[in-house]
Amino acid sequence: MGAPVRRVVTGEGAGGKAVVVSDDSVTGEPPRVGIVLHDIWGSDAALTLPSDGTRPESVGPPPPGGFRFALVSFAPREEVLGGGMHRSDSVDVGMVVSGELWMELDGGEETLLRPGDCLVLNGTVHAWHNRTDEPCVMAMAAVGARRTEA
């Protein structure tokens, strides 16, 4: 499992004043071989404000209108991660925090992502490859989308 990541959550307290409602840590879980996921926050539905900072319901991939935010660590020297080529019914927006990661698309195109590089996956088929000796960490947000077939 991955080292814990600190998570600070705010909310509105008495009189509508902003307060820190929790300051805890999130332990990484390995959902697949070669990946450790720190599930930071998410919701299965559109959010409303004000919020008291209670964590919303979020289970599995985000449904349309839902979202997830996580830190994802890709193990070194893993050639195909996440079960090979895959796609989700979401728009995934990410930024490489550390390390390097190759994104492969189903047409064979590959793109190298380095620290500070941002990525927007619009529900496309892809696979991940970490070809280095160091882990790669990405901050990823996934927004659930409704897929329509043409």
Give the tens place of pLDDT for each residue, 61-105: 999 999 999 999 999 987 655 567 999 999 999 999 999 999 999
Residue at 68 is within a domain: yes
Average pLDDT on 12-28 reads 95
Percent of all residues in the chain with a pLDDT value above 70, rounded to a whole number: 95
Burial of residue 6, with CB atoms counted within 10 A of its CB: 0-12 exposed, 13-18 middle, 19 or more buried: exposed
How many structural domains compose the chain?
A: 1
Q: What is the CATH number of the domain that holds 128?
A: 2.60.120.10
Q: How many C-beta atoms surround the C-beta of residue 20 within 10 A? A: 11
Residue at 39 is within a domain: yes
Residue at 20 is within a domain: no
Average pLDDT on 143-150 reads 90
- 140 has a pLDDT exceeding 80: yes
Query: In angstroms, how far is the first alpha carbon of the chain from the final one?
Result: 41
Q: Residue 132's domain spans which residues?
A: 28-48+60-144
**Does the predicted model carry a pTM greater than 0.85?**
yes
Q: Which pLDDT does position 118 carry in this prediction?
A: 98
